[in-house]
Structure 1
Amino acid sequence: MKRIRGIILLFLFIGLMINYADKSVSGYASIAIMKEFKLSAPQWGVVGSSFFWLFSLAAIVGGALSDKIGSKKMLTILLLAWTVLQLGAFAITGLTGLILYRILLGMFEGPSAPAMYSHVSKWFPKEQQGRALSILNIGAQIGAFLYAPIVVHLIHNFGWRFSFASFGVFSLLWVLFWIPFGKDKPVETKKPNLNISIQPKLKSSEIVKLVFSRNSIPSILALFACFWYVVWLLVWMPQYLVKVIHLSSQQMGYSVLSIGLCSMIISYAICTYSDILYKKSGDSRKSRVNLSIITMLSAGAMLTSILFIHSTVWVIVTIAFASGFVNVFLALGPQLLMSFSPERSGLMASLGTSFMNSAGIIGPIVTGYLIQSAGKGNVEMGHNYFIFSIIALLVVASILLLVFVHPDERVIKMAQENDQGINIV
């Protein structure tokens, strides 16, 4: 079983790596694309935003569909779609085609993370899920950051369309190995810790109850706040490093690589510590929620410093540490949401990721207009305005988690009600 779990996790790791590479490759190509199509900052913001226009809806629908048909089939369909779309990058000739391509890619990437999170919940016991999800998160960070020097090299030597298409080839190879070797769920599954009755059909009233619970709303808002920063990293950070920090394209690529490595180490170490705390105490509040609050406030504090300290080295170090801290909740948040309703794990994960990714609809456009409003000679000020918004969101989200989220209280209540013979939905 342990060996099969390792194989499954490796597949999901590589799949999420491809997913985030697809998301971020346009950011590395932004200067080249904007120059070729003569795009303004707000227009590029629309391009960055378009990826997420159908992402959230697709995540919810795909998450529910994944629960129905199985996450193995769902992931196979999704990565085949990525292959077709990425290879189709050679057909892009203008802004309209670029936006259409990004919309479709976002639609087929939306359900992937919920399906993968649900797959982890099938294969790993609760006390190991934090570490497993943090490993997946490392895959996301490799895709988003560690490929940067290679992507920059491909763009410089072969053009941005070739770099897009290269990830389509990776997606196809993944599918060819996943079909024979991937497994949907263990042959023998252990009974859950709580005797929770599973309802075959989901009513709209159930969705409302799940979404608007005291635990769910702050958790979903916290995911939004964290991804608000990640969206800036994916869409605008490469330009920030080149135009504000004044790095060359090659220096930018290696700086992003360093940021990714540091971020991976930090997030994995903290998520591993979270699992150790949970294993010792069984306390989700202490091991998941409180730890997330500390890391989010730390990210906000570090980002505040770059508004005043303009050293190139310090800016890169700060972005790296803040990324690592924010990625802790991006790994633990979906796990928290799934624990609120284990029998609807796919739906809960998709609700979190879909609302989280709505930050991708708003953030790039807001950044583009802030940069334009600051004036051509003051791009730094436009970015600083957006960084301040990141700080504010992280602080507010941390306060909401501190005040409202007490996941263990719900678990105790569920256990008591089940002892009395009450079915929990």
Structure 2
Amino acid sequence: MTATSVKAPPGASRTRYLILGLAFVGLSLNYLDRANLSVALPFIEDDLHLDLSNAEKGLILGAFFWAYDGAMLAAGWFADKVGSRKAFTFAALWWSVVTALTPLARGFWSLFAFRFALGAGEAPAYPSATKAASRWFPAHERAFASAVIDSGSRVGTVLSLPVVTGLIALVSWHFSFVVLGVLGIMLAAVWYWYYRDPMEHRHANAEERSYIASNGARIDENDSEAAAQVRWRDLFRYRTIRGMMLGFFCLNFVIYFFLTWFPSYLKDARGLDLKELGTLGTLPGITAIAGGWIAGIVADRRIRAGADVTRVRKTVMVGGLLGGAAIVFAAPAKSVYVALLFLAISYASLAIAATGIWSLPGDVAPSSRHVASIGGIQNFASNIAGIISPYVFGLLLDVYHGSYLPSFAVAGVVAVIGALTYAFVVGKAEPLPVRDS
């Protein structure tokens, strides 16, 4: 491959970037809705006089992940079956309607039910977006597309505190759910109206379509008949798929510290007040967003310049997970600023690894009809870590009397295991060979 062979021709439209922007907004809103209840729950308790125990709060918030992960395998299959247009629209409508109706809750069980329904509805979002990126972006642009899509989760999480508290302060906690629900319904309508696959999109001209089709995009026209017939259950027979599941589990094991225990760590172990949490506490998230985008751009440039796709993907994933192990050095650091530096390195490195991880489904899928399924399979495994990791961190904190050193050490070891998995278990970043069923 030469550098000139993969440049978009003069006059080619850039519709794929509008698709990418819409997917980014969708995933950001997806995570805003996911975090809404976490931020609003104290206000809901006060308003409804619920007096929930910590265990009951944990069950309500955790209901999302049980439903989300329970539906993930089916969600990936569903997105491949009906396509990104219908699957993402369906998901956005589901999670947005549930969000808008959440103010109807009056107690523990109704909050639990709405949270559970939200998790099930959000499951198709990531597989659908991953499939869309694989169809619209050639192999040498896929890392940046994956980075932008994945950064939606971090942007939504970072925005959740100021946006939700602002809406609550403006009117009430009910208002935050209604507004975000209505925005999601509007997003679903725009996605359904605007999204089409490349060969069907009225705004993609012939030059852009040809450029996409001839440079490794996962579209139907590039599928072999035999590969398209690979059954969903047969995907688990591939060592690469099993490696992707384990590797992504390891990545999310560490990432879920930042999504769950990180604020408590800064407050309890480092003594930060509320104002400092709102400033210093955002630094790892901001560096993660920037790191992911930069890594995506650099990876795509290397592939455009003729570098081997497998080498680029593995460098990003292995290097990113090894960098994620920097979390180990945060616990013994005497200065909060040094600790934040290591945590920022860790989170940014994990975001860098994620650009390769979310590019892999488009790389290794036997056909375009398997991209979302593989995305759902690896995401299913990764979110098991979302259930286990917060518990392990909490258990180790109890056993070691509030010290974060053992839990950070475990996280570092898990990150290294993930790096070794992508290095030696996951195979080449190319379509998996068709096997006899």
TM-score by length of 2: 0.82
Shift in alpha-carbon separation, 1:49–1:32, aligned structure 2, 3 A: same
8 A contact 1:296–1:326 mirrored in 2? yes
| Deviation, structure 1 residue 192 | 7.4
1:5 maps to which of 16, 23, 43: 16
Percent identity among equivalent residues?
22
| Deviation, structure 1 residue 140 | 2.0
Shift in alpha-carbon separation, 1:281–1:178, aligned structure 2, 3 A: same
The equivalent of 1:196 in structure 2 is: 224
> Are residues 1:207 and 2:207 paired?
no
1:308 maps to which of 312, 332, 350: 332
Shift in alpha-carbon separation, 1:233–1:127, aligned structure 2, 3 A: same
> Are residues 1:241 and 2:252 paired?
no
Equivalent residues, number = 407
1:20 maps to which of 14, 19, 31: 31
8 A contact 1:27–1:236 mirrored in 2? no
| Deviation, structure 1 residue 33 | 6.6
Distance 2:406 2:41 in 1: 21
The equivalent of 1:114 in structure 2 is: 127
| Deviation, structure 1 residue 160 | 4.8
| Deviation, structure 1 residue 29 | 4.7
Could you say what secondary structure the match of 2:14 adopts?
helix
Could you say what secondary structure the match of 1:407 adopts?
coil
The equivalent of 2:69 in structure 1 is: 56
> Are residues 1:319 and 2:343 paired?
yes
| Deviation, structure 1 residue 64 | 1.4
Distance 1:402 1:54 in 2: 32
User: Once superposed, what is the RMSD of the aligned Cα atoms?
Assistant: 3.0
The equivalent of 1:340 in structure 2 is: 364
The Cα offsets for residues 119-146 of structure 1, whole Å up to 9 and x where unpaired, read as 1111111110111111112222211114
| Deviation, structure 1 residue 226 | 1.4
Could you say what secondary structure the match of 1:2 adopts?
coil
The equivalent of 1:71 in structure 2 is: 84
Distance 2:399 2:178 in 1: 35
8 A contact 1:149–1:253 mirrored in 2? no
Higher mean C-alpha displacement, 275-284 vs 259-268 = 275-284
The equivalent of 2:418 in structure 1 is: 397
1:117 partner amino acid = T
> Are residues 1:361 and 2:374 paired?
no
Write the mapping of 1:156-175 to structure 2, written as runs, cut at 5 A. Answer: 160-175=173-188
Could you say what secondary structure the match of 2:196 adopts?
coil
Higher mean C-alpha displacement, 77-86 vs 179-188 = 179-188
The equivalent of 1:126 in structure 2 is: 139
2:242 partner amino acid = I
Write the mapping of 1:178-193 to structure 2, written as runs, cut at 5 A. Answer: 178-187=191-200, 190=213
2:292 maps to which of 267, 275, 292: 267
Write the mapping of 1:413-424 to structure 2, written as runs, cut at 5 A. Answer: 414=433
8 A contact 2:39–2:164 mirrored in 1? yes
Distance 1:162 1:222 in 2: 40
Shift in alpha-carbon separation, 1:74–1:370, aligned structure 2, 3 A: same
| Deviation, structure 1 residue 6 | 1.7
1:263 partner amino acid = A
8 A contact 2:89–2:189 mirrored in 1? no
Shift in alpha-carbon separation, 1:330–1:291, aligned structure 2, 3 A: closer
Could you say what secondary structure the match of 2:224 adopts?
coil
8 A contact 1:50–1:103 mirrored in 2? yes
| Deviation, structure 1 residue 292 | 1.6
TM-score by length of 1: 0.84
8 A contact 2:20–2:149 mirrored in 1? yes
Shift in alpha-carbon separation, 1:261–1:192, aligned structure 2, 3 A: closer
Higher mean C-alpha displacement, 160-169 vs 108-117 = 160-169
Distance 1:100 1:146 in 2: 25
8 A contact 2:30–2:156 mirrored in 1? yes
Distance 1:367 1:45 in 2: 15
| Deviation, structure 1 residue 423 | 8.1
8 A contact 1:41–1:371 mirrored in 2? no
8 A contact 1:219–1:401 mirrored in 2? yes
8 A contact 2:138–2:215 mirrored in 1? no
The equivalent of 1:145 in structure 2 is: 158
Q: Which runs of 5+ in 1 are unaligned?
A: 415-421
Distance 1:145 1:354 in 2: 24
